[in-house]
Amino acid sequence: MASIKLKFRTSSVQEKEGRLYYQVIHNRVARQIHTEYRIYSSEWDADHSNIILPTSVTPQRQAYLLSLKDTLDADRKKLLLVIARLDKEGQSYTADTVVDNFHEGKELHGIIGYTLELNEKLRRIGKKRMVARYKTTLNSLQRYLKGGDVPLEEVDGTTIQGYEQWLKDSGLCRNTTSFYIRNLRTIYNHAVDDGLVISSSPFKHVYTGIDKTVKRALPLEIIKQLKELDLSLNPRLELARDMFLFSFYTRGMSFIDMVYLKKSDLKNGILSYRRRKTGQLLTIAWEKCMQEIIERHPAVEGSIYLLPIIQPGTDERRQYKNASARINKHLRKIGEMAGLSTPLTMYVSRHSWASAAKEKKIPLSIISEGLGHDSELTTRIYLASLDTAEIDRANSLILRALQKDNP
């Protein structure tokens, strides 16, 4: 691997500025890169090959030297990047090759521009969910940068910490902030792997973990109160409430899985679907309460979907996201109407079903503590090994309890 040294050549005229230059050494052959950077001998630390700031210099001279230090640092990063790229190619090269590549002065990649290129590559190979995740982060980062861009070489700890603080100031919770930072870290690591930047570990001092969230569940008596609310005069609230109940009835099915249920998924009294998050195939015995919701909210004529949330042929992903936000907004209003202290969301139904199963003393071998686990992965492992008939019996037990006056 080639090495780089910053050198200082004194002026032949006493008390005049000397000139800085780079020495590139590879396979015992040295080449020089001349610069127009000039300093005095008193401003040069020969032992450490670095500029120093004498106490006697004027503020203007000090500002010049500080700016020059930044320029030299940028040059050094560029040279190291050139060498890293040449080493990665695995072909022999010379010190002259390093010098030539440095002088080519290729345009620096910005983090925004690179993310756009990366997303296009991922889109072409069908990585839709990854594209969507990176696009969300890209939109957020563009707002932070106010439409500008930052060269990859300049993405440092200060940049990332500033972005993290901006996310916090925007009112995002710690886990959501971490979601954006983790995505950005992955994008940055892609750039490192592509040889576009040498990692400076800019994510060292920001939070990239996942806090264990406090899970909230509603007891069966509250679920029953929500079920019995007369919302017929407000169709939007009624739809939101019924989507919450449908999720509860179907063992806490996630909203995205509900949205994409097809009419063909319901056959012979069995609802079958694959979780979009994991690809896991699940089957649920069809119950009367589920059918009542389908009849109360039929999909539009000709639709392939079971529920009236999205229409095929248009941007289905956008329809889902808009519907999710809209229904959760209406659920929060319903929660306020019912005097609930816990904000009502679609996700509450999932944990409520798991808690109801636990209260009914259904063995953990039948249904795990669900959302009380340290991670969703643990829950998926539990559910993947369960006998479907046992789960259906457990679900029937919970739904029968919901129909009683005193569950």
Q: What is the DSSP string of 29-41?
A: EEEEEEEEEEE-G
Number of domains observed in the structure of the chain? 3
Are 117 and 74 within one domain?
A: no
Are 276 and 236 within one domain?
A: yes
- Give the least confident one: 31-45, 175-189, 229-243, 352-366: 352-366
Are 250 and 297 within one domain?
A: yes
Residue 203 lies in a domain: no
Are 177 and 242 within one domain?
A: no
Question: How far is residue 65 CA from its own chain's centroid?
Answer: 40
Residue 87 lies in a domain: yes
Q: Is the pLDDT of residue 112 over 80?
A: yes
Q: Is the pLDDT of residue 88 over 80?
A: no
Are 97 and 116 within one domain?
A: no
Residue 206 lies in a domain: no
Q: Residue 87: what pLDDT?
A: 81
- Give 385 or 249, the one with higher predicted confidence: 249
Contacts (Cβ under 8 Å, ≥6 apart) of 358: 367, 369
DSSP 262: B
Q: Residue 387: what pLDDT?
A: 47
CA distance 317 to 197: 34
Residue 5, beta-bridge partner list: 23
The CATH number given to whatever domain includes residue 269 is 1.10.443
Are 389 and 289 within one domain?
A: yes
| Domain endpoint, select from 193, 209, 235 | 193
Residue 78 lies in a domain: yes
Report the pLDDT averaged over residues 250-272: 93
Are 134 and 247 within one domain?
A: no
Q: Residue 214: what pLDDT?
A: 54
Three-state SS at 26: strand
Residue with tokens 């902030």: 177
Q: Residue 123: what pLDDT?
A: 85
Q: Residue 383: what pLDDT?
A: 37
Residue 202 lies in a domain: no
The CATH number given to whatever domain includes residue 164 is 1.10.150
Residue 204 lies in a domain: no
Are 259 and 355 within one domain?
A: yes
Q: Which domain holds residue 41?
A: 3-104
Are 398 and 319 within one domain?
A: yes
Predicted confidence (pLDDT) per residue in 183-223, tens digit: 999 999 999 888 888 888 999 999 998 876 555 778 899 99
Is 76 within 8 Å of 4 (Cβ atoms)?
A: yes
- Tokens of residue 58, six digits: 């004027």
Residue 163 lies in a domain: yes
Is 345 within 8 Å of 329 (Cβ atoms)?
A: no
Are 328 and 185 within one domain?
A: no
pTM (2 decimals)? 0.49
Are 132 and 96 within one domain?
A: no
Residue 211 lies in a domain: no
Are 369 and 257 within one domain?
A: yes
